[in-house]
């Protein structure tokens, strides 16, 4: 699947996810990382999406629905899980922007440390705007 087709499908998914999460797409916060697989060089996505309107008890069902939607859109196998806030979420995003190391364990640590393989990073407009407003925002843009 071409890069442009993959991105069109991603935005279809992201709009669907915002809708089922009770958000307007333009106010949704997400980061998308496209990378090439290590063995066959197949492009694929990793993403984080903020779900402020859901309690933990609701997230399992939302994750299952999202996996079904992703696979139904022809994007291959999906593993969508609730992010463990004790892990390095900010570092997950910041490392690809060139700032520092990440910590973690197991599979997540392995994925977090693969940012050298990142082909592309896209932030939602809402998230990019929030980052621009942070103190020291100039540090990550330079």
* Alpha carbon distance 77, 55 (integer Å): 25
Specify burial of residue 73 (Cβ count, 10 A radius: 0-12, 13-18, 19+).
middle
pLDDT for residue 119: 62
How many CA atoms are closer than 13 Å to the CA of 93, on its beta-carbon side? 19
- Mean pLDDT, consecutive 10-residue segments, the chain of 142 residues? 90 94 90 81 83 76 92 89 68 49 47 54 88 69 50
Residue 49's CB is within 10 A of a number of other CB atoms, namely 21
């Amino acid at each position: 699947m071409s890069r442009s087709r993959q991105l069109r499908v991603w935005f279809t998914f992201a709009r669907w996810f915002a809708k089922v999460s009770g958000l307007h797409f333009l106010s949704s916060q997400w980061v998308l990382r496209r990378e090439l697989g290590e063995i066959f060089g197949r492009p694929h996505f990793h993403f984080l999406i903020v779900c402020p309107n859901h309690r933990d008890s609701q997230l399992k069902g939302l994750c299952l629905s999202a996996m079904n939607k992703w696979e139904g859109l022809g994007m291959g196998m999906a593993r969508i899980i609730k992010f463990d806030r004790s892990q390095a979420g900010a570092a997950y995003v910041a490392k690809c922007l060139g700032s520092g190391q990440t910590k973690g364990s197991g599979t997540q640590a392995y994925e977090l440390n693969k940012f050298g393989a990142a082909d592309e990073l896209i932030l939602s407009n809402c998230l990019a705007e929030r980052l621009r407003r942070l103190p020291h925002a100039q540090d990550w843009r330079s």
